[in-house]
Structure 1
């Protein structure tokens, strides 16, 4: 367990020593860092460890409960009640063949009852745990949910049948995030006649089920349409940061679940060949060394004649003063930008896919200290050195890049956001269509490597 109160005090001191507070010097930022901290003091909250999904005990195939299990009449009746009331979780009771379950209960056919009840229970588990929306309707969704491995359907069935508490399956599987609860409350408060509002609430409740049920003790979560990033510890927002995300189209930011393995201070930027060759930057750097030095560019020509251009650390570097190292097939990461004026824009869907973060050096120091990759003094020295430095973190932190068009904003208010990538329509259509069984766990969409170009934000 780590006392985050002491870490935050170290962070504030480090930011002041590095000149970040003075340089940023906005009243709002000073308040975020220096006013009462809910995690500071003698009773500071302890950071719980992020679940390690790779170390869970695996039940041997031969010992797993069967797909069809024994159901008594009262247990089947309790399941019927759960299915009839599942609309409160944003699911549709019509998906679960309640009539067939009633018929099996009345028939006296025990084998038939066992089969129907087991099947409907499994369908319910899959929708509560994994989401009702099939993968083909989740555009650019590259998260692989670990919950089916952690909470297998047949084992859950055996668990609730043994306890007799069939209703508990809803509490076992419903997302634990407070934003899901807020959407559930909003659904309960929305009149049945307001079908469009209810459809949007249900769609965004389902998006929470696409993620791991437990996001971990500490993590970063960014909601692309909201243009905001949250640092979360033990279910509470510690800091928030405005973001710039990918422009609609090919450069739209994909939805991912990745891991921060390190923090890069004073990063270099390898310029993509579309600029080096396509726009002649390589020749310009080689032929105009003074201009190149002034802008931090270094170029080398290989034996094949190709020119490689790397922008060195400095105030004009396209990645700013930091980036979070989170290896992934898309080459997407969180980073700084020298064009900080763009954070004041209302439309911040302007990048080539990566997520740019305001007060980025503050975030970098926070992650480095929380991850025990650097002490306060080390973070100050590294950040002010001007030298490229990668700080690996001992305690890695998950990053969730999500897409919610309705949710709780950073001020605690439930609101809607613009569907900037037009991703609502396929989700809504899937929820209106008949339920799909045997759904894929992973997308078959191609992971396109997105090469960020700072100049795309300048329009």
Structure 2
């Protein structure tokens, strides 16, 4: 039974059976007796705490700074114990691997702690369990980079010493509650998770739609199944129609928009596949979405401005004070040249950029033609100086031994377009214009070699520059019209997050899903399930 704060704390009950009578320094309570007996008991407790905490450097440092005084086992620590047990009991609401937090074992350890040495061991056990929970709920229970090589997100892992210090100096209920991400998007996902669990208990979305496609005017069992599933998902009010009518068409359009499908009102193959996903499928996506939120947890310290690139949504957004102030479509890396996930800071833009061709692209697309004597619009560079490839005996080189660099000078045909936006990183990833604007009309935009191409790069530049000039458009275009490569520094660096979110909840409460275009969800979900994070009820 879930414990409420009004009930007698379980840990207090466990400790009540122990021979505790009078408090001494550090909060440890022992049976009254001679001073030497107290000193001996305290020494045994200190030894136990020192030994048990030694494996975690930060925890050992915390206890050492407190002269190995207990945190959880003193009579004064009732609220702290109760706050911990309450948080562990609610860990499942966060989609955490609850098997990591053995509440029964912790309580039994306290019950069995009938001497100072055992109490010291129990104290450290509680600290270790708290630190595991705190790390998991704050910054994630996976190490995503160990699972997927293209995830380079540095997780904001809290320092154990700092965590323990803040815990003992704070209201424990409030402190533990604020370890999870405090952004509204995380809270909205948690609410959806609980709602999906309720839906599963009630039978899920109903029978799947047995049709390849459906369109307005159709009738029959498949239309009824489509109607019922959209009703269960909240897209349609209660209805008894068996016809694909205007109301059903409108619901399909809304569903398509929330799932990244062209909103044409026709339930084609992509729409049918999406609408046939089970409650469990959605639950898994939402739990993974919550985990991804934790990877970016800033502890409530939200930047005034940030640039948010969701690779699955093919859009780039500028977010100011939590509100989206600019959005543009984007092209991301192809499936065989995937854009990585990481965070950095945008420092400057380059107007009229040159393109220094990455070696991998040069070897694949340009060097073979140059070696064969073909022409190229690329400049061939030797030690940074332009040379004439016709004056070089290319028969001496192979693709792998080609000793020259390739550069495309500024111009309308430049692969980077007329402007690029730089957040220097080891992956050589940045945002830029593109001469291939027609690709922006595609629904799935995975065409680049890894960088992010923008649909509205000039407007994006104006938006960024507006904070440092009264005439951002005039400044940008004056430089553009020179045709000269020019770097424009941003007076304030802007955090940039390249993420892979396939589920999120909008401000209006709308649950969104996007396709797993790189196949990353499958591997991460397998890792989550291996840790025991599964839906309580798997009805579809």
TM-score (norm 1): 0.71
Corresponding residue number in structure 1 for 2:142: 133
Preserved CA contact (<8 Å) 1:160 1:166: no
Aligned positions, number: 364
Question: Are 2:477 and 1:380 aligned?
Answer: yes
Residue 219 of structure 1: SS of its match in structure 2? strand
Q: Distance in 1 between matches of 2:498 and 2:470?
A: 23
Structure 1 residue 410: deviation in Å?
Answer: 9.3
User: For residues 373 and 139 of structure 1, what CA distance do their matches in structure 2 show?
Assistant: 43
Do residues 267 (structure 1) and 342 (structure 2) align? no
Deviation at 1:196, TM superposition (A): 3.3
Which residue does 1:279 correspond to in 2? Answer: 369
Q: SS state of the match for residue 280, structure 1?
A: helix
Paired with 1:196 and 1:382, the residues of 2 have a C-alpha distance of: 50
Deviation track 1:98-127 (CA, whole Å, cap 9, x = no partner) reads 111211332344223312210110001110
Distance 2:463 2:512 in 1: 29
Q: What residue is the counterpart of 1:204 in the other structure? A: 289
Kept after mapping to 2: 8 A contact 1:222/1:402: yes
User: 2:427 and 2:101 mapped to 1: Cα distance?
Assistant: 38
| 1:281-328: CA deviation from partner (whole Å, max 9, x where unpaired) | 995447x99xx9xxxxx8644989655543222222111111112211
**Alignment check: 8 A CA contact 2:309 2:316 kept:** yes
**Which whole-Å CA distance do the structure 2 matches of 1:77 and 1:312 have between them?**
66
Q: 2:63 aligns with which of 66, 73, 91?
A: 66
More divergent stretch after superposition (107-116 vs 338-347) = 107-116
Task: Tell me, in whole angstroms, the C-alpha distance in 1 between the residues paired with 2:507 and 2:313.
Answer: 9
| Deviation of 1:61 (Å) | 8.2
| Residue 153 (1) aligns with residue 139 (2) | no
Take 1:61 and 1:372, find their aligned partners in 2: how far apart are those partners? 47
Q: Which runs of 5+ in 2 are unaligned?
A: 1-56, 201-278, 381-385, 395-402, 534-540
Query: What secondary structure does 2:428 align onto?
Result: coil
Equivalent residue for 1:217, pick from 295, 304, 311: 304
Counterpart among 99, 117, 120 of residue 129 in structure 2: 120
Residue 492 of structure 2: aligned partner: 395
Q: Which whole-Å deviations, capped at 9, do the CAs of 1:35-62 have from their partners, x for residues lacking one?
A: xxxxxxxxxxxxxxxxxxxxxxxxx989
Does structure 1 retain, via aligned residues, the 8 Å contact 2:59–2:161?
Answer: no
For the aligned residue pairs, the C-alpha RMSD in angstroms reads 3.2
1 CA distance for matches of 2:422 and 2:191?
37
Q: Structure 2 CA distance, aligned partners of 1:169 and 1:433? A: 26
Q: With structure 2 as the length reference, what TM-score do the two structures score?
A: 0.61
1:342 matched to which residue of 2? 439
> Matches of residues 407-418 of structure 1 in structure 2 within 5 Å?
407-408=504-505, 413-418=510-515
Q: 2:105 pairs with 100, 103, 121, which one? A: 100
Contact 1:257 / 1:401 at 8 angstroms: preserved in 2? yes
Kept in 2: contact 1:125–1:153 (CA 8 A): no
- Assess, with a 3 A threshold, how the Cα gap between structure 1 residues 281 and 331 changes in structure 2: closer, same or farther: farther
Supply the distance in 1 between the matched residues of 2:306 and 2:371 (Cα, whole angstroms).
38
User: Are 1:357 and 2:446 counterparts?
Assistant: no
Q: Is the 8 A contact 1:285 1:299 kept in 2?
A: no
The 1:62–1:184 alpha-carbon spacing in structure 2 relative to 1, beyond 3 Å, is closer
Distance 1:178 1:74, change over 3 A: closer
Distance 2:109 2:310 in 1: 45
SS in 2 for 1:338: coil
Superposed CA offset, 1:5-43 (max 9, x none): xxxxxxxxxxxxxxxxxxxxxxxxxxxxxxxxxxxxxxx
Tell me the residue number matched to 2:90: 85
Please point out which of 154, 160, 166 is paired with 1:144. 154
Change in 2 beyond 3 A, CA 1:362/1:63: farther
Distance (whole Å) between structure 2 residues aligned to residue 190 and residue 61 of structure 1: 39
Separation (CA, whole Å) in 1 of partners of 2:393 and 2:342:
36
* Deviation of 1:90 (Å): 2.0
CA positional deviation for 1:199: 2.0
Separation (CA, whole Å) in 1 of partners of 2:523 and 2:102: 24
When residues 405 and 61 of structure 1 are mapped into structure 2, their CA distance, relative to the original with a 3 A threshold, is: closer
Q: CA deviation at 1:357?
A: 0.9
> 1:219·1:398 contact (CA, 8 Å) conserved in 2?
yes
The answer for the alignment partner of 2:175 in structure 1 is 168
Quote the residue 2:428 is aligned against.
331
Deviates more, 1:98-107 or 1:401-410: 401-410
Distance in 1 between the 2:134 and 2:471 partners? Answer: 43
Q: Contact 1:264/1:390 (CA < 8 Å) preserved in 2? A: yes
SS at match of 1:102: helix
1:445-456 equivalent positions in 2, closer than 5 A: none
